[in-house]
A and B are shown apart, each in its own frame.
Chain A
């Protein structure tokens, strides 16, 4: 038998000024430009209704772009229906065919790709082995657990060696513990085979964990694109700052600038941080809850309004002249009582100026 290890024909995906309008005036995707490099895992992240699933379905060919151009590899696929695109997709509901066995499900796409029956069978078995379901080939989908069904769906998409593999919220039907396991498996397979993957989720933690690059979408447009670290550490605006992880937004004054850095001041407390193109005057900073230092020597006066014990850490709501912030603290053994007066400072790389 031939060695039929599953290979990869990973190809880049390119969106040029793509829009999608449903009916007369419902704009689901508004003039986006997007480049997904070959062999990378890119996540489309955003709240529901932001257009991320529509974008994914336009890559699959299940929705047709109203205007603009879509390229997969060096081929213009804008007008091609799903059948004729070299793309496969893992659905949120898995969409396993209930009247076919696991093996028949995985072989389904192969039989349409011109493989002889033997070849299709051995490729399908190999695919099942790859997702750790060896020996399950004669079961019906209904005889598998949710996690196993999910892996069959992945195998069914993988064995076609698609140019692009699409995931539509693949973990949303799994319980919390299984999610971590499965997302690590998906990432491992993607990296081993060097696949181009586009992945839709609304869970920011999932996105941070699996992605090479994250595309945050809002109101049918792209809000920001970048590596997980870029998005987390340097969000472009309030929306991204708040959507990826939690962020406290505080008003401040930029009192001086020097090259790439700026010095800000809140209630007399000063800190120097990257300038991000801003000039002197009022501005907004975003600070992650974990980057607020409670009880620092120098800082802003605040009062503990609420203290919650959640096991691994303490969560505090602090109030002061600046408004209200949310902070976490690792010291669970000496919690602060509500009403305690404290000084609040920022960690060294903590706050970030929002250009917007």
Chain B
């Protein structure tokens, strides 16, 4: 109960500008800020990020942020730039321009190793599993457990894999088989297990429920709530408005590589969000970004 009242208080602050912000935002097009739960410093702050492939600006001066224990839904068409923006954060792409802060400090993310070292874990839409090796090998890919001789400790890794998979997917038994032989849901749980097993601070989920049935989708929902309570910040990229409205606290809509607007989920309707996605129209309840249609936003 206390939690919901805190959230209401947070949404009320939308009207008045936030004074307690330590790092003033100098980003153009950025209005008063939605500040959840009275926390000051965002966990992640991506400022003015740009990246171009050839002549195409996939992300064009986009700024987003994320607070601890918050789920931010990232919405947009195919090609809106949301996956690209998030790949900049996970280290898969190197940005051309912009700054990334974690807890207010600027960080360097040039490759996936950097991102992981900072506690940023990603569940990719394609799952990014090595299909020919088993679940434990995928779980520990890139940070294998080693014996005192420096060799792979397969038994320990399998043991840990059994524990974590037992929590996520209790019916999972096929530890000896390459993941290519697993079902879509099982592969997804391996990918999720890999992201949450290493004490992530920030979790990026790119279409996490795309390959799942209703029951498994509900499980992912439960998991997201559980991770939220642990104070992990989550970026949720999804096509599915229902998912975002069910799971996210706040949403950011992108169009043509630019941020259309940011809004608390409670302050906008699904139709309004659709309008943001399709036309770039920013409704009253949202804070317009640089990508919003000017006349409507004004």
Physical interaction between A and B: no
Residue positions of A touching B, CB distance < 8 A: none
Q: B residues engaging A (CB < 8 A)?
A: none
